Chains A and B, each alone.
Chain A
Amino acid sequence: MSEIVLETRHLVRRFGAFLATNDVSLKVERGARHALIGPNGAGKTTLINLLTGVLPPSEGQVFLEGEDITSMASFRRVKRGLTRTFQINQLFNEFTPLETVALAIAEREGVGHNLWRSIAGYGKVVDEAAALLARFGLASVMGERTVILPYGKQRLLEIALAFASKPRVLLLDEPAAGVPEDERHEVLQIVSDLPADVTVLLIEHDMDLVFSFANRISVLVAGAVFVEGTVAEISTDPRVKAVYLGENA
């Protein structure tokens, strides 16, 4: 279990004079449940954007399963098994949830370029989409337009959509944000139930969730990795308490 699937080397991202990511070198092992925590503005989302190619880094490199993907287009990274969810829902408002996940499954299966056959003709894609939506409790709204769904349902769809690509490395940017209290654990349970070889990098503010879910934690402060360790190490580290946990306690 010591194979490194996701790695950054001296990753830097500047916005003008502002250093959003400051020399981040991170190694994530296969099957890890790795949490990324840190105060607001610490550069957590920027790091995810760099990993997924939404933003190009100013310096440094990103490796996926040993391959340098620093300048690879986002959609190719997804094809290679790296995908994410967004902190603020990024959905297709005019699509139904069914169309949304069917699209992702069709692209994963390599049939997205077919312009002659109706999607309804891809029975396996449609079946898998339906099963996935049922798993996320979205079966009852699969035919509604996404934009009119309640926020909690949209949030679930946001995560279901990432699952539809069957990632080997999944980056979750505050997946439980805005999910009603009683459904939060359901969301995290679904994530926990992922096969052991799927690697998860999680940004989350709810420390209870982080400590129950993660087996490794990196603390980001001012764009740099402040400290990294196991849950036990981080939860008892006085410096972490000072810069981060102290604010919430």
Chain B
Amino acid sequence: MSVLPQETTVSANSSTAAAETRAAKLMKRRSRIRFYEIIVWIAAIAAYFLLPSKMLILTEIAILALFAVSLDLVLGFAGIVSLGHTAFFGLGAYVAGLMAQHYFAEPVTGLIVAGVASGVLGLLTSFLILRGSDLTRLMTTLGIGLMMAEVANQMAWLTGGADGLSGFSPGPILGMFEFDLFGKVGYLYCVGVLFIGTMIMRRIAFSPFGLSLKAIKGNSMRSAMVAVPARKRIVTAYTVAAVFAGMAGALLTQTTAFVSPDVLAFHRSADVLLVLVIGGTGYLYGGIFGAILFTLVKDWLSVITPQYWMFYIGMLLVILVLIGRDRLSRWVEYLPERLSKKEDR
């Protein structure tokens, strides 16, 4: 059944056909691989060969990037603010550590188990963020993060309490690639997981589901009027984001062979938000760009002013927000969109 009367004139038919052709083109262009995406992944591989002495900080960047990209899925797409995203990161870190210690040292298995565990926690806690405004969500997520940190601290028999988990060593990846002292294998492993995770979330971003998330963020009242079941979509997005945050935590455990209670610390939730403020939200790569900038600036500042580097991080945050978040989150639009020549719109 069609609501609209069929066009009868030839000219109307041809203009509709032209519109359909153009619409198909525009829709395909939406999900086209952008210029900066290719640069990011080439740079990630190039860094392996060009900066062999910097593997540890590069690994740190890759892990933070995966963590931030996962937060972007809820913040940048669904518009859910969270101050407790590290609950999933920390749970993933502990689960990966416990897996390696007690059950199975193969990292990819630990990674998946950690992702599933965090996903379950995400699913359970997602119902707490369905109601209320941004402020109540900030407080709820903050509360969940703090509770997780305290649980980890109290369950010393399992988590090692304040001492953390140590004394385990992850086995070779897929039974083949042993972690080396210089962190080269660890870096490639983390970049590999970051790449796969980003590609999966990228697919989600350009699906009808991803579009509906942005609709909920853009105008929740209207999204309901086009039949978007907002709560269901938020639950799904939050769960998926938790899975990848948990995997990021697992990567930290596996590359350092240590879990400190710091994986659940509040500052991690704040850091990852800051990463997205720096890199921009709503296009996933903001998490990667932000993680690179944040880690490098932090590293540089902590060398030149070891005691006061937090001051400058704070100042940077104030300046960034004053410059204007809108302009900031859109800076990537000023980059060339693609390698090919410009088509007419």
Contact = CB atoms under 8 A, between A and B. Distances in A.
B187 to A, nearest CB: 29
A92 B208 contact: no
Interface stretch (B26-34, B64-72, B153-161): B26-34
A94 B326 CA distance: 12
A98 B26 contact: yes
A117 B209 CA distance: 9
Given A93-B218, A120-B31, A74 B225 contact: yes
Nearest to A170: B3
Interface string B17-29: 0111011101110
Nearest to B218: A92
B148 to A, nearest CB: 27
B47 interface: no
A107 B31 CA distance: 19
A143 B233 CA distance: 26
Nearest to A107: B227
Interface in A84-110: 84, 86, 90-96, 98-99, 102-104, 106-108
A126 B3 contact: no
Given A116-B204, A118-B207, A78 B22 contact: no
Band of interface residues on B? 35 or more
A75 B219 contact: no
A190 B31 CA distance: 33
Given A119-B27, A139-B15, A107 B226 contact: yes
Nearest to A93: B218
Interface in B240-291: 240
B215 A103 contact: yes
B3 A166 contact: yes
Interface residues of A, number: 61
B309 interface: no
A54 B223 CA distance: 12
B232 interface: yes
A142 interface: yes
B26 A143 contact: yes
Given A95-B214, A113-B233, A131-B20, A120 B228 contact: no
Contact of B26 (A96, A113, A127): A96
Interface string B199-210: 000011011111
A98 B345 CA distance: 13
Contact of A79 (B5, B24, B31, B227): B227
A73 interface: yes
A180 interface: no
A161 interface: yes
Nearest to B213: A115
A231 to B, nearest CB: 24
A148 interface: no
A193 B240 CA distance: 44
B23 A194 contact: no
A83 B222 CA distance: 10
Given A119-B27, A130-B23, A135-B4, A114 B222 contact: no
A139 B18 contact: yes
Given A95-B215, A116-B203, A130-B22, A83 B1 contact: no
A133 interface: yes
B163 to A, nearest CB: 41
A151 B227 CA distance: 25
Interface of A: 52-54, 73-75, 78-79, 83-84, 86, 90-96, 98-99, 102-104, 106-108, 111-120, 122-123, 126-127, 129-135, 139, 142-143, 161-167, 193-195, 198
Interface of B: 1, 3-5, 7, 12, 15-16, 18-20, 22-24, 26-28, 30-31, 203-204, 206-212, 214-215, 218-219, 221-230, 232-233, 236, 240, 345
Given A113-B208, A115-B203, A163-B3, 20 more contacts: A54-B221, A73-B224, A75-B225, A75-B229, A78-B224, A92-B218, A102-B27, A102-B211, A103-B212, A104-B226, A107-B227, A108-B227, A118-B206, A129-B23, A130-B20, A135-B16, A139-B22, A142-B26, A143-B26, A162-B225
List the 5 closest A-B pairs by CB distance, nearest first.
A130-B23, A115-B209, A104-B226, A74-B224, A120-B27
11 contacts: A98-B26, A103-B215, A114-B207, A119-B206, A127-B24, A133-B23, A134-B15, A143-B22, A165-B225, A167-B3, A193-B4
